[in-house]
A = this chain, B = another copy of it.
Amino acid sequence: MHDPLPLLLAMLIVFGSAKLLAELFERLGQPGLVGEILAGALIGPSVLGWIAPNETLKALSDLGVMFLLFGVGLEVKASELLKVGGKAMLVATIGVIVPFLAGWGILFAWGAPQLEAVFVGAAMVATSVGITASVLSARGLLHEIASKIILAAAVIDDVLGLIVLAVVSGIARGRVNVWEIALTAGLASGFTVLMAVWGTTALNRLLPHFASRARADEAKFHIALVFLFAMALLAQYTGVAAIVGAFLAGLALTDGADARVRTLTRGVSELLVPFFLVGIGLNLNLRLFRSKSIVALALLILAAAIVTKLVGCGIGALSLGWENALKVGLGMVPRGEVGMVVAQIGLGMAVIRSEVYGVVVFMAVATTLVAPLLLKIAFRAPQPLRAS
A residues engaging B (CB < 8 A)?
A: 6-9, 11-12, 15-16, 19, 22-23, 26-27, 32, 55-56, 59-60, 62-63, 138, 214-219, 221-222, 225-226, 229-230, 232-233, 236, 242, 263-268, 270-271
Is A22 a contact of B267 with CB atoms below 8 Å? no
Cβ of A191 to closest chain B Cβ, rounded Å: 15
User: Nearest CB to that of A62 among chain B residues?
Assistant: B7
Chain B residues, CB < 8 A from A263: 263-264, 267
Provide the bound-state CA to CA distance between A229 and B56, in Å. Answer: 16
A26 in complex: contacting residue of B27, B216, B270, CB < 8 Å: B216
Is A12 a contact of B229 with CB atoms below 8 Å? yes
Chain B residues, CB < 8 A from A6: 233, 236
A226 in complex: contacting residue of B12, B219, B233, CB < 8 Å: B12
Is B26 a contact of A229 with CB atoms below 8 Å? no
Chain B residues, CB < 8 A from A216: 19, 22-23, 26, 32
Chain B residues, CB < 8 A from A229: 8, 11-12, 15-16
The SS class assigned to the A binding surface is helix
Cβ of A117 to closest chain B Cβ, rounded Å: 32
Chain B residues, CB < 8 A from A56: 55-56, 59
Known: A19-B222, A216-B22, A263-B263. A271 touches B270 (CB 8 A): no
Is B221 a contact of A270 with CB atoms below 8 Å? yes
The 10 closest A-B CB pairs, nearest first, are A267-B267, A264-B267, A26-B215, A12-B229, A56-B59, A19-B222, A8-B233, A16-B226, A267-B268, A263-B263
Provide the bound-state CA to CA distance between A232 and B222, in Å. Answer: 27
Chain B residues, CB < 8 A from A7: 59, 62-63
User: Nearest CB to that of A269 among chain B residues?
Assistant: B267
Chain B residues, CB < 8 A from A19: 216, 222, 226
Cβ of A368 to closest chain B Cβ, rounded Å: 19
Chain B residues, CB < 8 A from A233: 6, 8-9, 12
User: Nearest CB to that of A56 among chain B residues?
Assistant: B59
Is B8 a contact of A242 with CB atoms below 8 Å? yes
Provide the bound-state CA to CA distance between A32 and B215, in Å. Answer: 10
A55 in complex: contacting residue of B23, B55, B63, CB < 8 Å: B55
Provide the bound-state CA to CA distance between A19 and B211, in Å. Answer: 13
Cβ of A52 to closest chain B Cβ, rounded Å: 15
With A22-B216, A264-B270, A268-B271 already in contact, 15 other A-B pairs whose C-beta atoms are closer than 8 Å: A8-B232, A12-B233, A15-B222, A16-B229, A16-B230, A19-B222, A19-B226, A23-B214, A27-B215, A55-B56, A56-B59, A59-B60, A225-B270, A263-B263, A263-B267
User: Nearest CB to that of A232 among chain B residues?
Assistant: B8
Provide the bound-state CA to CA distance between A104 and B266, in Å. Answer: 49
Chain B residues, CB < 8 A from A222: 15, 19, 270
Chain B residues, CB < 8 A from A63: 7
User: Nearest CB to that of A54 among chain B residues?
Assistant: B55
Is A15 a contact of B226 with CB atoms below 8 Å? yes
21 residue pairs A–B, Cβ–Cβ below 8 Å: A7-B59, A7-B62, A7-B63, A8-B232, A8-B236, A12-B229, A12-B230, A12-B233, A15-B225, A15-B229, A19-B216, A23-B214, A23-B215, A26-B215, A55-B56, A59-B59, A138-B217, A225-B271, A264-B267, A264-B270, A268-B268
